[in-house]
Chain A
Amino acid sequence: MKPVPDNDSAPFWEGLKQGRLLIQRCPSTGRYQWYPRGHSIHDPSATPEWVEAKGTGELFSFTVIHRGNTRRPPYNCAMVRLDEGVIMLSSLRGIDEADMRIGLKLRVDFEPLDEETALPVFRPV
């Protein structure tokens, strides 16, 4: 499903086109947040700043969807815990279902969703 970007998210989607994974950090507490918002969930009076994530993390959980009503199964959804401490929903590439293990070390990759949009996905390191 094609995302609908907005003012909060424009830097994130622009970054992906340039091969950069941008997330937000709270200038007041130094803590990170995912997903992008206009305020810091750690200190609502602070305006979050954009920073480039290292792009590495580990597999928090995964599911392989065998029956679904959108794209043709099987495909996987993965919760990835970035080294910055936030969890993103994403998808794994370059790995068989039998090799998926919680705790697996991962690195971000960028995959075109269409001509205008890139999507972050993750591959085993």
Chain B
Amino acid sequence: MPGIRNKAAIVGLHESPLRDAPGIHPFRIMMDSILAALDDAGLHLKDVDGLCIASGDWAEGGAVESVTEFADYAGITPTWFNGTDVGGCSYLVHAGHAAAAIATGMAEVVVIAYAACPRWWPLTTPSFDPFVLPAGPGQYELPYDPTLISAYALMAQRHMADYGTTPAQLAEIAVTFRRHAAENPQAKMRSPLSVEDVLGSTLIASPLRRLDCCLVTDGGGAIVMTSAERARDLRRRPVLLSGFGAAVRRTQISQIPEDLSTPAVISGQRAFAMAGLGPADIDVAQLYDAFTITPLLALEDLGFCPRGEGGAFVSDGNLGIGGALPCNTDGGGMSSNHPGKRGLLALIEGARQLRGDGPGVQVEGAQTALIHGLGGTFCASSTAILTV
């Protein structure tokens, strides 16, 4: 299934260094990031004919039809665009869809941008978020007041009972990512963190504690994609999109499968098949880390370890530099930044690792990167495999 393998490349990128951006509208952060990413590529705004954003959720600055709002702000008239919003992995989905558009000639230069400013955002954005709508499928669950973290906590609790996974093993994930963040000058949290710190932090939704949770920061970024052919003539070493997969499955907690598998099983298989690679071929990974249980389940679903063995895998040092699968090298959402839908920032760090210009720790000579995101509470998944 070669599909769009190596048809398109990431040729420019920029991550905003902002973590607290009082008074700065998210559209400004997206626009600044787009211009910086185009400059990185050696391209100009007038070259752009494709736009991907999903900025209609809370603190993202737009409303449901944010694609048109942002085109207005940017002063551009894209002829190919995608506003798919399936939560945190939306921007990985955009990258796959953009590659397909580039491969078929529907678009030539696509920018994908994201920003949010939850730390100062003053409005309760009108939302179509299924987690706050007590009608249709949500009418059976919202009366019990589940919080966003509830679904993760319920899955963590069950994983512990089924497989003996421990809170200390989950804490190892946060500790490892903090160690990476310590080397990243842009990361929000850089002070040393211990397993004991995590286990002693405030209980939010049992068994998950405050330091099992990602940060809430402002921030954003952008990437530029074009054809692999055109990429050869641009300023930066092209990073090829070699594999891509996505899947959506459920929203309601009641529909969580008894084996706790997530759509990552599907998106991962499709991405690996397209790339012609397997888990053992991956040099560095960026796994969405909304909560510590999130990357642990991704490791199992993507095939980096057998089901139920995620706890042992993360506590054996595999996720650190020098480990079997160095992961979240910028510190991830737990320690670098998490404005709300972090998939694009993970994609940026995956590409930086292959270019050798990450802001913090660097996996020397990395040639393959896997970036995996999820949306909602494991409702959507998208997996991208990048190569150089």
Question: Which chain A residues border B158 with CB–CB below 8 Å?
Answer: 60-61, 79, 102
Asked if A46 CB lies within 8 Å of chain B CBs, one says no
Which residues of A in the span 27-74 have a Cβ within 8 Å of any Cβ on B? 34-36, 60-71
CB pair B145–A89 under 8 Å, yes or no, is: no
Specify the chain A residue showing the minimal Cβ separation from B210.
A67
Q: Does B140 contact A (CB under 8 A)?
A: yes
Set of chain B residues within 8 Å of A86, measured between Cβ atoms: 254
Distance in angstroms from B124 CB to nearest chain A CB is 11
Residues of A within 8 A of B (CB-CB), count: 39
Q: When chains A and B are docked, how far (Å) is the Cα of A88 from the Cα of B143? A: 13
Check A102 against B140 for contact (C-beta < 8 Å). Answer: no
Partner of B157, one of A63, A89, A91: A63
Stretch of B147-155, B355-363, B378-386 at the chain-chain interface: B147-155
List the B residue with the shortest CB-CB distance to A101: B161
Report the separation of the CA atoms of residues A93 and B146 in the bound assembly, to the nearest whole angstrom.
16
Given known pairs A4-B135, A60-B258, A88-B254, the reply for A65 and B143 (CB within 8 Å) is: no
Instruction: Determine the distance from Cα of A89 to Cα of B147 in the docked complex, in whole angstroms.
Output: 12
Q: Are B134 and A89 in contact (CB under 8 A)?
A: no
Q: Which of A4, A6, A77, A97 is within 8 Å of B144, CB to CB?
A: A77
| B-contact 0/1 string along A87-114, CB 8 Å cutoff | 1111100000100001100000000010
A1 at the interface (CB under 8 A from B): yes
Measured between alpha carbons, how far is A75 from B146 in the docked complex, in Å?
10
Q: How far is the CA of A66 from the CA of B253 in the complex (A)?
A: 19
Report yes or no: A97 in contact with B137, Cβ–Cβ below 8 A: no
Across the two chains, which residue of chain A brings its CB closest to B160? A102
Interface size on B, residues (CB 8 A): 34
The one of B142, B153, B256 that contacts A87, using a Cβ cutoff of 8 Å: B256
CB atoms of B135 and A89 under 8 A apart: no
Which residue of B134, B154, B155, B255 contacts A4 across the interface (Cβ within 8 Å)? B134
B258 touches A87 (CB 8 A): yes
User: Which B residue sits closest to A35, measured CB to CB?
Assistant: B140
Beta-carbon contact of A1 and B205 below 8 Å:
no
Q: Are B141 and A89 in contact (CB under 8 A)?
A: yes
Inter-chain contacts of A66 with B (CB < 8 A): 202-206
Q: Which residues of B contact A15 (CB under 8 A)?
A: none
Q: How distant is the Cα of A2 from the Cα of B133 in the complex, in angstroms?
A: 10
- Chain B residues contacting A89 (CB-CB under 8 Å) are 140-141, 144, 146, 252-254
Q: Shortest distance in angstroms between B106's beta carbon and chain A's nearest beta carbon?
A: 33
Determine whether the beta carbon of A63 is less than 8 Å from that of B150: yes
B322 at the interface (CB under 8 A from A): no
Asked if B23 is at the interface (CB within 8 A of a chain A CB), the reply is no
A62 to B151, CA, bound (A): 10
A99 shortest CB reach to chain B, Å: 13
Which residues of chain A have C-beta atoms less than 8 A from B365's C-beta? Answer: none
Given known contacts A66-B202, A67-B204, A113-B143, A87 and B154 CB-to-CB distance under 8 angstroms: no
A97 with B206: CB separation less than 8 A: yes
Inter-subunit contact A62/B139 (CB<8 Å): no
Decide yes or no whether A5 CB sits under 8 A from chain B: yes
Give Cα distance in the complex from A91 to B258, angstroms: 18
- Further pairs besides A63-B206, A65-B145, A75-B145: 12, Cβ < 8 Å: A9-B140, A63-B150, A63-B154, A64-B206, A65-B147, A70-B145, A77-B145, A77-B146, A89-B141, A89-B253, A97-B206, A117-B143
Residues of A in contact with B (beta carbons under 8 Å apart): 1-6, 9, 12, 34-36, 60-71, 75, 77, 79, 81, 86-91, 97, 102-103, 113, 117, 119
Some 5 contacts from A to B, beta carbons below 8 A apart, are A9-B140, A64-B203, A77-B154, A81-B258, A87-B258
